[in-house]
Amino acid sequence: MSAKPWKIRRRNFDWGQRTYLMGVLNVTPDSFSDGGEFTQLPLAISRVCYLVAKGADIIDIGGQSTRPGAEPVSLTEELQRVVPVIEAIRDDANQALSSTVISVDTTRAAVAQAAIAAGADIVNDISGGTFEPEMLEVVAQHQVPYIMMHMRGIPQTMQQMTDYTDLIADIQGFLQQQAERAIAAGVAHEKIVIDPGIGFAKTYTQSLEVLRGLSALRALGMPLLVGPSRKSFIGRILNQPDAGQRVWGTAAACAAAIAGGADILRVHDVAEMQDVCRVADAIWRSPNGADWVAWGG
């Protein structure tokens, strides 16, 4: 892996040495898996404490559901959902909590700006800068890491936009193009992470194809994030409509992602996926992977 390491707060990210876990915190009433569970501030903070204690390297906080068909919320509503949680984490007396690395999951430049001011460290943008080009300016201004994902359309329309000439090549081309636009806007190359967007404008078979083709995306020379957690393609394989019951299917998908070269996994079930990462890293990473238990970041 050619990407330069990151150091954010007390956490080191040495790409290629091990897989890092991004724990999901949706402060939304309508997310596909955990909508409504953490909309109250005390519940959200309790959830962050749990994720950090179980080994999350990053906490990804989102105030807008991006499941297929999700309706957008107002800017004011998204800000009111996200910013107080970030502020509460940063103000907490527990140093392990207050120093955790925070990512804000948003497509809006104004939300990214406010989240960074409140203490967010990373911007995670499912649109890859296509919904609001001003997002690239905000990221460049603050020089924070930027995760850009591949998708087509918007959540209401994306599942009708799955006609690709060459799926992996099209994803690679989009991510390369958006990375070049970000760099032109002033975002440092070493701060960009790419995400192929499993389930976003992807059919069941295409989601599987993405997992099989991850290694091709390594050619872009940027850290790779993969987010298969509890998604519908796993539910279809398992005939499991309850997203919360897709943990072990998620484990299999995460192991496949690591085999394909994923650097970060975005997951709901941090404790279980930490075990998956330890074993998969020992198999597929460098010889140091066998000593993953000694990590500390």
Measured CA to CA, the distance from residue 63 to residue 231 in angstroms comes to: 19
DSSP classification of residue 128: T
Question: What phi and psi, each to the nearest 5 degrees, are found at residue 203?
Answer: -80, 175
Specify whether 278 is catalytic.
no
**204 CA to centre of own chain:** 20
- Which of 230, 231, 246, 285 is catalytic? The answer is 231
Q: Is the dihedral of CA 289, 11, 32, 205 positive or negative?
A: negative
Per-residue CA distances from 5 to 17, 175, 223, 276 (Å): 10, 20, 10, 23
| Active-site residue, 9 included | no
Q: Which residue spans within the chain are E strands per DSSP?
A: 6-8, 11-13, 20-26, 58-62, 101-105, 122-125, 146-149, 192-195, 225-226, 264-267
Catalytic residue among 152, 230, 266, 285: 266
Catalytic residue set: 231, 266
